[in-house]
Amino acid sequence: MSNSNKLGITRLKKRAPKIPDYTCTEIDNVIDKLEKIQDSKKFSKLTLKILIRKLERLRRSNEALRESGIYWYDVCKDLLGLKKTY
């Protein structure tokens, strides 16, 4: 592993967009609040199910995006010879 590869990955990491925090707990909080609102009959059970389904799809999309970012980061490290093999 050369120093130029280390510098290259460091430079790329500095320019990369920030990886967002995990949002699952925020999604869970929204679902809880929606369930409480539904319990008070502010909207129907069908509306609640639709909203929860959309939030769960968002959760899956976020996770897929995160996994994709990890995959491509590992590919870059491998290409630059920075991946540790044990």
For the segment 20-72, what is each residue's pLDDT rounded down to a tens digit?
Answer: 777 788 888 888 888 888 777 777 888 888 888 988 888 888 888 888 888 88
Q: Residue 70's pLDDT is what?
A: 86
Residues 6+ apart with CB under 8 A from 46: none
pTM of the model: 0.61
Residue 84 phi, psi (nearest 5): -80, 135
> Taken in order 37, 42, 48, 54, is the CA torsion positive or negative?
negative
Instruction: Classify burial at 31, counting beta carbons within 10 Å of its beta carbon; exposed 0-12, middle 13-18, buried 19 or more.
Output: middle
Q: Residue 86's pLDDT is what?
A: 41
